[in-house]
């Protein structure tokens, strides 16, 4: 039986992440030495496009499907759900799901493997002074930033505490005036 047919039988001809039935294809969950059904998932074209995206412009409503797929009995599906939830961790629902997800030790090791995460950055996230930033750091804005959609301007000198790194090494995330925003890392300096 072909790999695709094995995955179609396992998934019931549905995307193993969102349940869509159209435009299905095989996604090999990295790292893959040799393609097989244990290291692959069947995904729709929308999920595949989002998984392979490097611009972090995710369809947040679409990925709410991970609240269901993270409970799959298939390790490859669990790994993909975990990795996508990690990418979406700026969303409170994704953080909640990450807190609830259960993975066996070997599956978590696979999910956390740097070689497996397509968005694992080789570049460090640097502030304006080229100091490396890490998740949990505190930074200060060095210029006024107009926050689109929130109708306020984050003023220069505003402290942003407990930042999160994103998949893009040029961006960080943090709360300003109670609103979680994405900030260009070159517009901050480490405290």
Decide: pTM greater than 0.85.
no
Pick the more confident residue, 122 or 160.
160
Instruction: Name the average pLDDT for the chain.
Output: 88
Structure tokens at 31: 């790292």
- Measured CA to CA, the distance from residue 9 to residue 5 in angstroms comes to 6
164 pLDDT more than 70: yes
CB 190 within 8 A of CB 129: yes
């Amino acid at each position: 039986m072909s790999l695709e047919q094995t995955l179609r039988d396992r998934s019931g001809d549905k995307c193993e992440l969102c349940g869509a039935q159209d435009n299905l294809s095989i996604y090999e969950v990295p790292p893959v030495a040799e393609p097989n059904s244990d290291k692959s998932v069947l995904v729709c074209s929308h999920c595949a496009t989002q998984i392979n995206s490097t611009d972090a412009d995710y369809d947040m409503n679409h990925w709410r499907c991970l609240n269901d797929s993270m409970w799959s009995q298939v390790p490859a599906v669990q790994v993909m759900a975990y990795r996508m939830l990690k990418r979406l961790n700026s969303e409170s629902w994704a953080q909640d799901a990450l807190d609830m997800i259960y993975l066996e030790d070997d599956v978590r090791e696979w999910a956390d493997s740097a070689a497996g995460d397509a968005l694992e950055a080789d570049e460090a996230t640097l502030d304006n002074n080229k100091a490396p930033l890490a998740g949990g750091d505190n930074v200060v804005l060095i210029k006024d930033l107009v926050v689109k959609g929130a109708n306020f301007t984050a003023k220069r000198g505003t402290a942003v505490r407990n930042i999160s790194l994103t998949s893009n090494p040029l961006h960080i995330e943090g709360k300003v005036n109670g609103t979680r925003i994405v900030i260009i890392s070159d517009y901050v300096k480490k405290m």
